[in-house]
Amino acid sequence: MAQAIRRRTAATTLQGKLHPVLKRVFSARGITSPEELELGLDKLLPPEGFAGLGEAAVLLADTLTTGGKILIVGDFDADGATSIAVGITLLRAMGATQVDYLVPNRFEYGYGLTPEIVELASQRKPQLIVTVDNGISSVDGVARARELGILTLVTDHHLPGRELPAADVIVNPNQPGCDFPSKSLAGVGVIFYTLSALRRELRERGWFDEQGMAPPGLGQVLDLVALGTIADVVPLDRNNRVLVQQGLLRIRAGQTRPGISALLEIAGRQPQRLVASDLSFAVAPRLNAAGRLDDMSVGIACLLADNGAEARRYAEQLDNLNRDRQQIERGMQEEATAALAALEIRADVELPNSICLYQAGWHQGVVGILASRIKDRWNRPVIAFADGDDGNIKGSARSIPGLHIRDVLDRVASSHPGLVSKFGGHAMAAGLSLPKQRFSEFAEALDAVVSEWLQDVELQAVIETDGALAGDQMQLELAQQLRYAAPWGQHFPEPVFDGVFHLVHQRIVGEKHLKLVLSHADAPDSLLDAIAFNVDTERWPDPEVERVELAYRLDCNYYRGEERLQLMIEALQPA
């Protein structure tokens, strides 16, 4: 599908001693002063206004100091896994002797604190269940825990539904009445704040003095917080950038846990050169593969491993699971492509406003990735379904900018009672289940709501860029500055530039990647290496093309100890 290039604009010009390109980039992301780029821990938002935080600290402290058993129940993705690891690590460091975790198998129990999970948890006789990265929609599960006499603390970041669970305490920046300024914390960020409040409560009670122990440093888990935040693709507001930056700095300094070190090693990434995208594209998929195909327990065990040898064994298991996931995904993409062809969904015909796909035999754990791939290709909201239990199908939704997919599902569910069994999620991603025989009815209802809500949304795929670079700016030094200038991610995107280049050489490498040699109009004698991944090999290489229009990133290609400038192409077309 053709992509339009649109340049970002900035309302003000950033002052200071930064490189002019960096000033332009940061200004276009809403930065108005150099002070906003300071990401030390002292810039982390204070907990004032964070609803439930004080009550949660008291509940945890009462349970911990009396020797009560705390059971953490997490989600089966990377955010959930890192949240559990943060909880186990810090609670033990604060003197908890009765703390354990439970993560639902997605294929047996589904998402969240369900009544079935509570029954399973009750066999361990916990005094307190703490949810991480889930629970805000677990009305029935919390009710069952209350019936069994188990206290519940819900820590979550997902958007709440119309009814909140009757938990003893809820900590969620998105719950009604919470005045905490950052609504973009990942689940791991929420439990980090919660346990920070617990440490403060225990210190005020004199607990650490009584136990003859020093209060644990919270910095020891910032590598986990950074990983979970990046993996969950939450908006990188300043508060999240502080958390991510501090975690990255620890990893670069060699102060990370064996599990993350092992995952980086098996992915071929160097810790001292680590940036946020390495966590996103190398570590998170391997961690998520456990929850998608098997059981997230192996991922959590990797993160909690005490030594390198143990961590390496778990990392190898995760790597193998990720390879299996990739193979399954390739097969599902082929089937989805065939299904789209049958629906005549092509770039040369009018596209539907939404795409719903279901195929018997598709893997529950991979439909989210499939939906994301199709969404990226066609720039439409996509829901991909796989078989669930008891005649239901489970769907994973991915949306486009401007369309809040959870609110769309809420509208569909409220206007068609009984059609959607359950749903939950964010603006850009959501999950749901519904009776299999009502798939077609749901697809029609979804398309009706989406068609209404998309009237003011741009449907052509757009790549936003930071403008053009002059020939003398195509330098490795600038690429290095851009690489480490900030944690780039959701809502704080990595800089992309555009321009027209002379095409000197082109060839396919690795089956479907296009390797290019280019020259800039301002510096025709200086050759530039570039690469475009996953190109249409029926179109490229094209010996008749002499000039190309590109959207690209300046990148540092590190190979055999040598670092060279390389352009990473986001989009290309003949000029």
Residues 402-439 have pLDDT tens digits of: 899 999 999 999 999 999 998 887 788 889 999 999 99
- Could you give the angle at which helices 222-231 and 284-293 cross, rounded to 10 degrees? 70
Q: Stretch 115-143: mean pLDDT, rounded?
A: 96
Q: Which pLDDT score is estimated for 455?
A: 79
Burial of 7 (0-12, 13-18, 19+ CB in 10 A): middle
pLDDT band at 1 (very low <50, low <70, confident <90, very high): very low
Q: How far apart are CA 234 and CA 182, in angstroms?
A: 11
State the Cα angle at 272 between 30 and 489, rounded to 5°. Answer: 25
Checking if the pLDDT of 126 tops 80, the result is yes
Helical spans, DSSP H, in 233-366: 238-252, 258-266, 276-278, 284-293, 297-304, 308-342
pLDDT band at 106 (very low <50, low <70, confident <90, very high): low
pLDDT digits (tens, 9 = 90+) for 512-571: 899 999 999 888 889 999 999 989 898 999 999 999 999 999 999 888 778 999 999 999
Greatest CA separation for the chain: 78
pLDDT band at 2 (very low <50, low <70, confident <90, very high): low
Q: Which of 266, 357, 244, 258 is nearest to 303 (CA)?
A: 258
Say which residue the tokens 């704080």 belong to.
492
Q: How large a percentage of the chain has pLDDT more than 70?
A: 97
Burial of 288 (0-12, 13-18, 19+ CB in 10 A): buried
pLDDT band at 150 (very low <50, low <70, confident <90, very high): very high
Q: Which secondary structure element, helix H or strand E, spans residue 497, and what is its range?
A: strand 497-509
Strand, helix or coil for residue 207: helix
Q: What are the chain's domains?
A: 4-31+463-574 (2.40.50.460), 42-255 (3.90.1640.30), 257-339 (no CATH), 351-456 (3.10.310.30)
- Rounded to 5 degrees, φ, ψ at 491 are 65, 5
What DSSP letter does each residue of 209-254 carry, written as one string?
Answer: HHHT-PPPPGGGGHHHHHHHHHHTT----HHHHHHHHHHHHHHHTT
Checking if the pLDDT of 104 tops 80, the result is no
pLDDT digits (tens, 9 = 90+) for 332-388: 888 887 877 766 655 555 678 999 999 988 998 889 889 998 998 888 999 999 998
pLDDT band at 311 (very low <50, low <70, confident <90, very high): very high
Q: Which of 438, 456, 436 is nearest to 446 (CA)?
A: 438
Q: Stretch 34-62: mean pLDDT, rounded?
A: 96
Q: Which pLDDT score is estimated for 505?
A: 96
pLDDT digits (tens, 9 = 90+) for 237-264: 999 999 999 999 999 999 999 999 999 9
Checking if the pLDDT of 58 tops 60, the result is yes
Checking if the pLDDT of 274 tops 80, the result is yes
Residue 391 and residue 363 in contact, taking contact as beta carbons nearer than 8 Å: no
Q: Lowest-pLDDT range, 30-39, 344-353, 445-454, 477-486?
A: 344-353
Evaluate the CA torsion angle 105, 432, 371, 496 in order and state its sign: negative
Q: Stretch 44-56: mean pLDDT, rounded?
A: 97
Burial of 50 (0-12, 13-18, 19+ CB in 10 A): buried
Q: How far apart are CA 90 and CA 265, in angstroms?
A: 25
Question: For all residues of the chain together, what is the average pLDDT?
Answer: 92
Structure tokens at 277: 């995208």
The long-range contacts involving 501-507, CB below 8 angstroms and separated by at least 24 positions, are 501/528, 501/547, 501/548, 501/550, 502/546, 502/547, 503/545, 503/546, 503/547, 503/548, 506/540, 506/541, 506/542, 506/543, 506/545, 507/541
What are the b/e assignments for 343-363, b being 16+ CB within 10 Å? eebeeeeeebbbbbbbbeebb
Q: Which pLDDT score is estimated for 110?
A: 66
Q: Lowest-pLDDT range, 210-214, 383-387, 426-430, 464-468?
A: 426-430
